[in-house]
């Protein structure tokens, strides 16, 4: 398979992205390439990987891809080793790969839970282990774990996914404290996501009568990709993307009973369109769907490209500095009027 495209531009570093063939992962790959990174692409879908590689190379960066199921720890480790052989030391590792099943719990199977957990939770664990193996001896690197508002607040119809994201949150807490204890310069950030217009709603296994859709306000994946880039380059423990995410995280801490009531009444219908679903639709739970699907789902006309909350979060130093300067000017003006 084609592997590299040598670039004359100086690289900002090497980033590994799991789940890079479509959806958010595809947008992350574009964002990092645009910002000067060489990219290692990990996913199962060959055509999507090849399309992502072409996009990265078109931006003047080097790209390699590996057909990897992140539920296979040995395959993840092999891809990490080959990435460093072909691109150089890994500076950033982004655990993004996920899978899900839209289904009431009473209709779920043990196999469904096992598969979603292996991909969505253990895939991030395996990626982190491979990253630490290389970063710790160098005492340098950033690991980004892609979370969700659902890491704090479970919702109906996505119990396997919510459970996996909760598990990632617990794993992340342990990881951060151990790195701190060891005074390591390897750092980790978890980015919590809102509903997004990605390909997953046409990919995941579903037992719903109607087609699934994102619940609440929908963001384009580029919004989250920019937050993940910021996380890779700054020392932040956690970043919440969008007001709905912040509201879910904080609101569930204050009044989980109220969230129970709201979701019990609105959470089932709120995750379905009015279009009937094809009960025989193929899904990517165990095998990738053929084709290059890109980054976006079918909800573009309902999605936003900007989050004021995220902008304020990423520019909080500038905002605080400006507020302090303005406060100083007001005090000075008041003093001179005396």
Active-site position among 161, 230, 261, 286: 161
**Would strands 210-212 and 272-276 be described as parallel, antiparallel, or unpaired?**
antiparallel
Question: Is 31:225 a contact under the CB 8 Å cutoff?
Answer: yes
| 121 assigned to active site | no
Rounded to an integer, what distance in angstroms lies between the CA atom of residue 323 and that of residue 301?
36
Instruction: Give the angle 16-19-25 at the CA atoms, nearest 5°.
Output: 80
DSSP code at position 10 = P
| Sign of the CA dihedral with 63 first, then 147, 128, and 175 last | positive
CB-based contacts of 158, cutoff 8 Å, min separation 6:
100, 101, 102, 150, 271
Question: Is 99:43 a contact under the CB 8 Å cutoff?
Answer: no
Tell me the CA distances in angstroms from 193 to 129, 197, 238, 310, one per residue in order.
Answer: 23, 12, 11, 11
Question: Is 271:212 a contact under the CB 8 Å cutoff?
Answer: yes
Which residues are part of the catalytic machinery?
A: 161
């Amino acid at each position: 398979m084609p592997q590299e495209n040598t670039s004359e531009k100086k690289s900002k570093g090497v980033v590994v992205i799991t789940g890079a063939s479509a959806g958010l992962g595809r947008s992350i790959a574009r964002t990092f390439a645009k910002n000067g990174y060489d990219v290692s692409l990990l996913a199962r879908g060959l055509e999507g990987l090849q399309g992502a590689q072409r996009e990265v190379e078109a931006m003047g960066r080097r790209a390699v891809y590996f057909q990897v199921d992140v539920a296979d720890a040995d395959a993840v480790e092999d891809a990490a080793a080959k990435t460093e052989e072909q691109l150089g030391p890994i500076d950033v590792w982004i655990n993004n790969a996920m899978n899900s099943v839209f289904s009431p719990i009473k209709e779920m199977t043990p196999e469904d839970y096992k598969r979603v957990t292996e991909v969505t939770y253990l895939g991030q664990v395996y990626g982190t282990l491979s990253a630490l193996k290389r970063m710790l001896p160098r005492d340098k690197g950033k690991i980004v774990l892609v979370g969700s508002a659902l890491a704090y607040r479970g919702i109906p119809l996505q119990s396997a996914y919510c459970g996996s994201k909760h598990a990632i949150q617990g794993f992340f807490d342990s990881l951060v404290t151990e790195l701190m204890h060891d005074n390591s310069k390897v750092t980790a950030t978890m980015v919590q996501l809102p509903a997004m217009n990605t390909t997953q709603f046409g990919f995941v296994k579903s037992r719903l009568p109607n087609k699934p859709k994102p619940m609440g306000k929908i963001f384009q994946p580029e919004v989250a990709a920019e937050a993940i880039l910021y996380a890779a380059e700054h020392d932040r423990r956690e970043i919440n993307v969008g007001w709905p995410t912040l509201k879910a995280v904080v609101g569930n801490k204050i009044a989980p009973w109220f969230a129970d009531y709201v979701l019990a009444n609105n959470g089932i219908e709120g995750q379905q369109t009015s279009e009937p679903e094809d009960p025989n639709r193929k899904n990517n739970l165990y095998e990738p769907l053929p084709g290059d699907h890109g980054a976006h789902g079918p909800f573009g006309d309902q999605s936003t490209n900007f989050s004021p909350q995220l902008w304020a979060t990423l520019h909080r130093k500038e905002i605080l500095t400006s507020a302090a300067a303005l406060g100083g000017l007001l005090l000075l003006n008041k003093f001179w009027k005396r």
